[in-house]
Structure 1
Amino acid sequence: MATLFVDNLTVLDFSYLHGKRGMVGESWIVDIELTGDLDEQGMVFDFGHIKKAVKHAIDESVDHKLAVPADSDYLAASQVRDGRVELEWLYEAGTIRMKAPACSTVFLPGSEVTKSTLTLYLLDIVQAVLPANVSELVLTLREEDIGTAPSYHYSHGLKKHDGNCQRIAHGHRSCIQIFENGRRSRYWEKLWADRWEDIYLGTEEDLEGAYYVDEVPHLRFRYTAPQGMFELLIPEDHCYLIDTDSTVEHLAEHIARQLALEAPGNHFRVRAFEGVAKGAIAEAGSLNPRSPQGS
């Protein structure tokens, strides 16, 4: 018997529904360990096959989807029919309703989406693609260790994307780095992390209208993408509108421009992350020659 491990096999970028927080964007790193007898090649499982079979199975099940706890009391209605899903989530701040292709949603057993519930769900999926000589599987979900650096959870959809980013309710947990006049600014980082905590980043072009649901203002977004028609209703307080698509390139540019407006006479460099270890850089503003460097 031998054990092999693969750290950072994949990163699951998805959103999930929560009773207090509403729609939460998340990024969880996946590590695995496989124990079993050696095959004719002297391996437990070829690393190349792990990346193809196991990673593919995990990504297809959760990545870029909305995870819904199927047994939650907050789930007021759900229906999957003719390749489409409709659901209604009644939580403390208002109502979330979504209509979308069924491939954009995963229903998980239990009343909450946690690392434990998702791990149990993924264990069955991964077991199905492992060879017979593998007798034990350990799967670990974890967040990126960023220490005390500010981060935020956001959800969005990219209707022009030709892959799964087009799904209207998927998300990320992202850190942000902001440099003001060449110096790292935790003040501005914390401000933007608070501003975008548990937020839905909506594109103005996709906004279909504003409505009151039980006297609470909500926004409805709607668009058609290659996978089908997507529609999302979500409380206005949990939305932030931008005038572009919500790609990380545009988000970095938006933050940099806003910083330059809020603190004129300063230069800003923004490193905006999209989940783990990837993102975009943007700069805006100019240093006032009368201001000392880094002031």
Structure 2
Amino acid sequence: MNRAAAAIFLVVVCSGCPKRIEFGPEGLIEDPEVLFQRTSRAQANVLTLQGDAKIRVASPQGNGTLSMFVAISRPGLVHLETSDFFNRPVAALVSDGQRFGLYQTEGNVFYQGPASPQNVSRFLPVVLPSEELVAVMLGQVPFIPAERKTLTLDTGKRVYVLTLYRGEVTQTLHIHPKYHRVVRSEVRGRPGYDLAFEDFKEKGNQVFPTQVELVAEVAQTELRLRYSDVTLNAPPDLTLFELTPPEGARVVEVDERGREVSPAPPPPEGGPPGA
């Protein structure tokens, strides 16, 4: 066999060989509870994020892509600013976990009220509590409270498959065998959403997904967030989470469902309030 034929033979043979799965320093994990605890710790190491991103939304209400500045901090601090294709400001949303404020440049209006899921999720086609929104944007998966767990190794996809069970509800987690980070989460048995995390990068001591995808099949909605330049675990700039309306903006108070609240009438002259 000449050298060219030998080289072709080796390529064909090696292309059919499965790639070796690279595990962490502890090697193959066979106990589902051990893997669950290590995965929980691995994703909990990211506490804050600040930087730039692109957000793409596809939903029955419409499709679109916006640039976004993001500053978030666990458990529920949120600061999101969106701009259009020409980098013109569109809106800014801020929440300190208790109250929220949303400024829309169109109309020069500032909405404020309780930090309910409906209010904090105004940028999104799905409704999430602020703590859950922050977790997902930090590349973390909210877990169902499991009654039992099972674990297998998918050698084809080269991931652990950890399944959580609670009654009729299941959550299937595909977990990176080396970094113990969730790369996919699927919840079945109740309304919810699937998550996928891609393009993991090492940033200091952290391994972080620079792409987050959320799919809610019932709502026919898909959201994709791609980070381009972010800083992790820096002390948060608390001024970014201040709920101060811009000067000259019309301020509108809303309730927990985002409905405008009529201002209370002024007290009658010469008498106590309510007289």
Q: Same fold (TM over 0.5)?
A: no
Task: Return the structure number with greater strand share.
Answer: 1
Specify which structure has the bigger relative contact order, considering alpha-carbon pairs within 8 angstroms and separated by 6 or more residues.
2
Q: Rg: which structure is higher?
A: 2
Q: Which protein has the bigger helix share?
A: 1
Q: In which range does the TM-score fall when normalised by the shorter chain?
A: under 0.3
